[in-house]
């Protein structure tokens, strides 16, 4: 067995190892062994809308129950909803079945500890060892006479929505008069996001909120906001919000149809939090993938900018270490640590709308707080993933590009933690140069690893 956990849980093609029923059963048993109390234990499992979700939930639940632990099924709910309910209801651990922004045929398993936080690398390795020792765990389960029970939590999604609404600093129908387009990505937010923002007073125009099991993330959501931008203009809306399949990330679109990056949303929220005295330590944590323009904007605002490894849990680790309360990724994962233990697309949307409400300005004006430097990001399909620094032709071309960019840009080449891809990112002084340099590196990566 190779390494199971990537940057965000276990990910793969559904019905194939490691997202097959047999492995999911063993993951359930391993989780019950790792998290559960010696004699008792309670676990909660949620899922997004992809067709393989029920299959994997059933396998995981069976594995947990075979170890004598009880399982509560939350049904379709955003990933941060599972994190919230895990902590608020005293579960030993929470499990989310989702492959986030990936297509429907993929799926994944994300784990949360009793406090609602994601696992450390060390904890994931321990669970991997337990899964590898499947025979021993199976033997233990065979000795258990009192197996666990499975119960439903029919109001899980509603309870999570109430939690989000309660974390708004403004009470009442404060979004009255706001025309809001919501792209649910045919995923976990499809039902609850329109309901939540309507309850706050907004006039909601929902799109891609009709999941059928296979249309999740299909040309919609945070990865594909083109239709959202068109709808905003057609409906004369004030703002558009696009979530991904499990709604832990947000991409916003302004009233003119322009798409804001996650970095821009963080810059807007950072300025608002600082102006209201809520930005602890005057610090924002992002990953190394964040645009150089964010660092420049934060510096002008007198805000420190710290960078972590790619992955929202590494951002979280740095935030907890430094006392920062705002962090995230350019992809749209945003963490408001004063309110939640994980990245949350809907919470980020509420905080962005609060900044708009406080300023009285349209989103297009607020977005000017940050100038996005030209960036080119190309994903290259790879057959193998040797350490980049050991592939001389790739290192040579990176050195050439870095020398030409000097202080006016940067290069970042890294593997995806969840897919067989190498991500090549170049930032530079102009669109043309950035594209040229990025394609130059991609050509070599393709030749060496494709």
How far is residue 118's CA from residue 110's CA, in Å, rounded to a whole number? 8
Classify each residue of 85-121 as buried b or exposed e, where b means 16 or more C-beta atoms within 10 Å of its C-beta. bbbeeebbbbbbbbbbbbebebbbbbbbbeebbbbee
Q: Could you confirm whether 430 is annotated as catalytic?
A: no
Q: For the chain, how big is the Rg over CA atoms in Å? A: 22
Q: Which residues does 81 contact at the CB level (< 8 Å), separation at least 6?
A: 46, 74, 156, 157, 160, 163, 188
* Residue corresponding to tokens 């979530």: 243
Strand partners, 306: 285
Neighbours of 16 (CB within 10 A): 12
Catalytic residue among 98, 100, 141, 261: 100
Q: Which residues does 208 contact at the CB level (< 8 Å), separation at least 6?
A: 183, 184, 185, 186, 190, 215, 220, 221, 227
How far is residue 263's CA from residue 261's CA, in Å, rounded to a whole number? 5
SS (H, E, C) 182-209: EECCCCCCCCHHHHHHHHCCCEEEEECC
Residue 213's nearest CA partner among 74, 345, 54, 59 is 54
How far is residue 195's CA from residue 300's CA, in Å, rounded to a whole number? 38
Phi and psi at residue 172, in whole multiples of 5°? 80, -165
How far is residue 224's CA from residue 85's CA, in Å, rounded to a whole number? 30
Q: What stretch of H or E contains 72?
A: strand 70-76
Q: What stretch of H or E contains 56?
A: helix 53-65
Classify each residue of 355-380 as buried b or exposed e, where b means 16 or more C-beta atoms within 10 Å of its C-beta. bbbeeeeebeebbebbebbbbbebeb
Neighbours of 186 (CB within 10 A): 27
Catalytic residues: 100
């Amino acid at each position: 067995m190779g390494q199971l956990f990537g940057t965000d849980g276990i990910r793969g093609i559904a019905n194939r190892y490691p997202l097959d029923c047999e492995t999911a059963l063993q993951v359930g048993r391993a989780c019950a062994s790792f998290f559960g109390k010696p004699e008792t234990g309670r676990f909660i499992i949620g899922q997004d809308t992809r067709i393989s979700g029920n299959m994997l939930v059933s396998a995981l639940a069976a594995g947990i129950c075979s170890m004598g632990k009880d399982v509560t099924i939350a049904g379709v709910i955003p990933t941060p909803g599972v994190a919230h309910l895990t902590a608020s209801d005293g579960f030993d651990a929470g499990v989310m079945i989702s492959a986030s922004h990936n297509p429907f045929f993929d799926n994944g398993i994300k784990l949360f500890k009793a406090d609602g936080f994601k696992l450390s690398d060390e904890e994931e390795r321990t669970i991997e060892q337990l899964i590898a020792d499947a025979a021993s765990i199976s033997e233990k389960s065979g000795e258990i006479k009192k197996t666990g029970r499975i119960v439903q939590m029919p109001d899980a999604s509603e309870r999570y929505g109430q939690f989000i609404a309660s974390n708004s600093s403004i009470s009442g129908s404060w979004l009255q008069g706001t025309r809001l387009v919501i792209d649910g990505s045919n995923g976990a937010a499809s039902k609850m996001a329109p309901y939540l923002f309507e309850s706050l007073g907004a006039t909601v125009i929902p799109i891609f909120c009709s999941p059928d099991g296979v249309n999740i993330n299909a040309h919609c959501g945070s990865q594909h906001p083109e239709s959202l931008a068109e709808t905003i203009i057609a409906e004369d809306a004030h703002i558009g919000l696009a979530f991904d399949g499990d709604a832990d990330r947000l991409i916003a679109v302004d009233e003119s149809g322009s798409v804001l990056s996650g970095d821009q949303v963080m810059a807007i929220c950072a300025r608002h939090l600082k102006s209201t005295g809520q930005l602890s330590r005057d610090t924002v944590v992002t990953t190394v993938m964040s645009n150089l323009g964010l660092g420049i904007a934060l510096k002008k605002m007198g805000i420190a900018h710290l960078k972590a490894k790619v992955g929202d849990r590494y951002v979280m680790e740095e935030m907890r270490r430094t006392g920062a309360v705002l962090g995230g990724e350019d992809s749209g994962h945003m963490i408001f640590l004063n309110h939640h233990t994980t990245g949350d697309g809907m919470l980020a949307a509420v905080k962005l709308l609060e900044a708009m409400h406080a300023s009285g300005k349209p989103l297009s004006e607020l977005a000017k707080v940050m100038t996005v430097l030209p960036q080119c990001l190309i994903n290259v399909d790879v057959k193998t993933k040797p350490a980049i620094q050991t592939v001389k032709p790739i290192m040579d071309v990176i050195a050439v590009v870095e020398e030409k960019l000097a202080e006016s840009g940067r290069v970042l080449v890294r593997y995806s933690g969840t897919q067989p891809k190498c991500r090549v990112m170049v930032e530079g002084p102009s669109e043309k140069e950035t594209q040229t340099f990025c394609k130059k590196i991609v050509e070599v990566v393709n030749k060496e690893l494709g």
